[in-house]
Structure 1
Amino acid sequence: MVTHVSMASLKLVLLLFILSFFNLNTCKAQEQNTDPVYLYHNCSGGNTTANSAYQLNVGTLFSSLSSKSIEFSNDTVGTSSSDRVYGLFMCRGDVPTALCQQCVFNATRRLRSECSLAKQAVIWYDECTVRYSNRSFFSTVAVRPRLGLLNTANISNQESFMKLLFSTINTTADEAANFSVGLKKYATKQANISGFQSLYCLAQCTPDLSPQDCRSCLSGVIGDLPWCCQGKQGGRVLYPSCNVRYELYPFYRQVTPAPPPSSPLLPPPASANSQGGGGISTGTIVAIVVPITVAVLLFIVGICFLSRRARKNQGSLKEGKNVDDITTVESLQFSFGTISAATNNFSAENKLGEGGFGEVFKGALPTGQEIAVKRLSKSSGQGGEEFKNEVVVVAKLQHRNLVRLLGFCLQGEEKILVYEYVPNKSLDYTLFDPEKQRELDWRRRYKIIEGTARGIQYLHEDSRLRIIHRDLKASNILLDSDLSPKISDFGMARIFGVDQTQGNTDRIVGT
């Protein structure tokens, strides 16, 4: 009877071990089979024309990169310097080959859509980075554009935590820069915060960089961590050439060490003396092993749960006024003196026009960047803080067929919006000008129709915040240097304080 009970207990122990390792493998399998997570993209360098040799070469490059089944690859397509395109991809050092290939495929497909005419672009996923340009950038450090992501939860003891973070992340960067095995410049480190909490760090460079250039690039992203993530429980900064990340949970894949041999847990062979006082009884072994197994099982479940919840708490941050910094109010705010100087004190010579929300002036920042300044009329229903918050929300809407909102100015009753300058004025100016309308052959008209539709689709369906324009017309469709359309005045109902959320209204808005 005792032997029967002991065998049943041993079966229970083995079953619990199997369940614990099954749960661990299930959790890892869920992590590994997750679709690639899109973070952000940036299109730059001006536009080319549709179906040009350069754009055809970009398509060939994408096909080439997507076909590779390795962690890193760069390629060049094109015979002449005018249409040659350079590109590369890099997958995170712990990402399996199949997921890496899927990430590159998803990234190139999104770039075809979002940056279809751009001469340069970079796109970041959690699992990979893809980049292309009309200029050779191989083995060269690129630090712009940059992207920051942060966990919105605060750390309790910020001073000691940031000291530990910088010590650990710099050690990780040193190791990544000098890593020379395979196609990787990648490293991870774990540091103990307390008895119950650990810090996990990751650093990586594109493998084409020298160790010195890699470490220089990583020094830059580490130096940007306070800008991004001061006092936060997790965060990362990404450059085109390198990136770092830290969290309070293991966000990267680790090689699971082999479990210890199970034979010491088994009782000695049964014998006539097996129930004597000289050995450990089966019941004692069961009493020790079962609680440990259950504790391990609960720990693994807890890690999986915290890992998923922490990922949902990720917030985002982009780079400065002249690039993509669109998360904080401070990063978007211009001083009134800067705007006044840029527009020559809102002179009549700089005035571009006047719409329903106020006057528009052309200006130039000290950097030389041209801007369009919309000086809102003083009938806005918004308070200062509400105005700032809505500007931040609308500034996050970015699409190649939307006019980019660069920032704002708020001083006294003055409320000013700063946009990118679009050189070819509005569609109605071109349509009704006898000379200009000759430029609108059917191909260009179709391009304007298609681009406007894409911009509206983004506002209505594809953006995180659904925006209804409420006043779409030819004068609110601007044309850039290639006569590509850019929708303006979207989100004005929010910024200007008009209630856009009411489902039932008797008031017709727009023209």
Structure 2
Amino acid sequence: QTCRTFIRSSNMELKNLLPIFLFFLVGFSVVSAQQCGTTGFFTPRSKYDTNRGLLLSSLASNVSARGGFYNASLGQGPDRVYALGMCIQGADPKICSNCIDLASKATIEKCPNQTEGLAWPENVILCMVRYSNRSFFGSLELEPSYILYNSGAIRSNLAEFNKLWEDLTSRMIDGATSSSSEGKYYAAEKVPLTPLQNIYALMQCTPILSLRDCNICLNQSVRDYVSCCRGYQGGIVFRPSCVFRWEIYPFSQAFDLALAPPPRPPTSLPPSVGNRTNTTKRGSESISAGIVVAIVVPTVIIFLVLFSIAIYVCGRRQSDRAIVRQGSSITITDTNPHQFDFQTIEAATEQFSERNVIGQGGFGEVYKAVLNGKEVAIKRLSKASGQGAREFKNEAVLVAKLQHRNLVR
């Protein structure tokens, strides 16, 4: 097992916060940061509590369905809650959903009546959940910050290691914050340290930051690690706006593709017995049998590879079409929820009055209404929404399947 030292620093007033303190976590698998704010509190079972529960309970499905990131708000005035969830790029949707779900539940449990909460857990992969009573979307926030590092020292040449490490982190920051980069806001890379050991590093910013702010956040995290923990075998820096981690072993499934074995070089043909050369004569020209083999064999291999790829692509297209047909056949009635006609909904929301608007998401506005004597929330698909009717129905089906005391079925 590896011993980790944890350092936390902050300029914010946070629960049980000391300027600097240390404690040891045994086992490198324990990597997480979680904090509740102390600048505001709410009454349990209040509207803020209800809105927080609704928003955090929907994060896991929304984050996994939208490529690993989702942010939204719910409520009005002092009851309004802002929340976001994020997984590392390329994470399996199911694994991402599980990580966000775990972080959401842990945050609610740890912060029972605080108006702000932040969690950076690692459950197979690294993910983040954050909520607040103030809008933080698009804002660069460097504090609170948390630093964990391995207590084991680097055993290789330290000068060479530092040069390799600095080149790696600098290159990754440039790649994650360049406007021309394909992988904006994210970088995961490995470089060989010794013939038997690599350096693995990961960086990520919340994608609602500007690239300039992402650059500032990542550079500050790298500088903080260097000033605190240079010479140790790995570590991680958490912030509300970004995360930076490096180790001498792979982590968070971020390097699975990078660790795939390289293709083997083509095996050379053995020499002919007795070094004899066979030739085929045509008129005055002679062609070596080795040359014929060297031309024919690669041609046949290339043809077989292209043919296999064509079969695979056709198979995938047919499978995708089948999935699309299957998905398009799902209707809201398949889940047997309560259904109301439009006139009933319109009356309950007072003709969709603006004074009943309590939030807004990707599909449109959310209205407060009373149905059958119960206060409920009604989401209406907006004509200006970038989402379509099919996505809207899928979310309705998902909500109908959820079990929660604040959801009306």
Report TM bin, short chain: 0.5 to 0.7
Identity over aligned residues, as a percent?
A: 37
Q: d(CA) in 2 for partners of 1:183 and 1:84?
A: 33
CA contact (8 A) 2:60 2:96 kept: no
2:224 aligned residue: 224
The Cα shift of 1:143 comes to 1.1
* Partner Cα separation in structure 2 for residue 193 and residue 183 of structure 1: 24
**1:188-212 Cα deviation digits (max 9, x unpaired):** 2333434443322221101111110
2:50 counterpart residue number: 56
Decide whether the 8 Å contact of 1:95 with 1:253 is kept in 2: no
The structure-2 alpha-carbon separation of the partners of 1:238 and 1:114, relative to structure 1 and needing over 3 Å to count, comes to same
What is the match of residue 115 of structure 2?
119
The corresponding residue for 1:102 is 98
Number of residue pairs aligned between Structure 1 and Structure 2: 238
Q: What residue number does 2:369 align with?
A: none
Matched ranges for 1:25-424 at <5 A: 39-44=32-37, 45-68=39-62, 69=64, 70-78=67-75, 80-126=76-122, 127-156=126-155, 157-178=157-178, 185-251=185-251, 252-255=254-257, 260=263, 264-265=266-267
Instruction: Map Cα deviations across residues 143-166 of structure 1 (whole Å, 9 max, x no partner).
Output: 111111111210134344234322
SS of the aligned residue for 2:141 comes to: coil
Structure 1 unaligned spans of 5+: 1-35, 280-511
- CA displacement, residues 418-440 of structure 1 (integer Å, 9 cap, x when unaligned): xxxxxxxxxxxxxxxxxxxxxxx
- C-alpha separation between the residues in 2 aligned to 1:186 and 1:165? 18
8 Å Cα contact 1:108-1:130 kept in structure 2: yes
Contact preservation (8 Å) 1:179, 1:186: no
CA RMSD in angstroms, aligned pairs only: 2.9
Question: Residue type matched to 1:71 in 2?
Answer: G
Query: Can you list the C-alpha shifts for 1:50-70, whole angstroms capped at 9, x where unaligned?
Result: 111111110011122122223
Counterpart code for 1:129:
M
Could you tell me which amino acid in structure 2 is paired with residue 91 of structure 1?
Answer: C
CA distance in 1, matches of 2:210, 2:47: 33
- Report the Cα offset of residue 231 of structure 1: 1.0
The unaligned stretches of length 5 or more in structure 2 are 1-28, 278-409
In the TM superposition, residue 238 of structure 1 has moved relative to its aligned partner by 1.1
Asked if 1 retains the 8 angstrom alpha-carbon contact of 2:178 and 2:184, the reply is: no
Against the structure 1 CA distance between its residues 164 and 274, is the aligned structure 2 distance closer, same or farther, given a 3 Å change threshold?
Answer: closer
Find the aligned partners of 1:37 and 1:95 in 2 and give their Cα distance. Answer: 19
Identify the residue that residue 321 of structure 1 maps to in structure 2: none
Q: Find the residue that maps to 2:52 and give its secondary structure.
A: helix
Question: Contact 1:173 / 1:204 at 8 angstroms: preserved in 2?
Answer: no
Inter-partner Cα distance in structure 2 for 1:122 and 1:180: 31
The offset of 1:178, in angstroms, is 2.4
- Measure the CA separation in 2 of the matches of 1:182 and 1:246: 22
Q: Is the 8 A contact 1:48 1:54 kept in 2?
A: yes
Residue in structure 2 matched with residue 5 of structure 1 by the alignment:
none
TM-score, structure 1 as length reference: 0.43
Structure of higher RCO (CA pairs closer than 8 Å, 6+ residues apart): 2
CA distance in 2, matches of 1:193, 1:106: 35
Counterpart Cα distance in 1 of 2:261 and 2:195: 24
Give the distance between the partners of 1:96 and 1:104, measured in 2 at CA: 12
Rounded Cα–Cα distance in structure 2 between residues aligned with 1:261 and 1:162: 32
**Equivalent pair of 2:201/2:245 in contact (CA under 8 Å):** yes
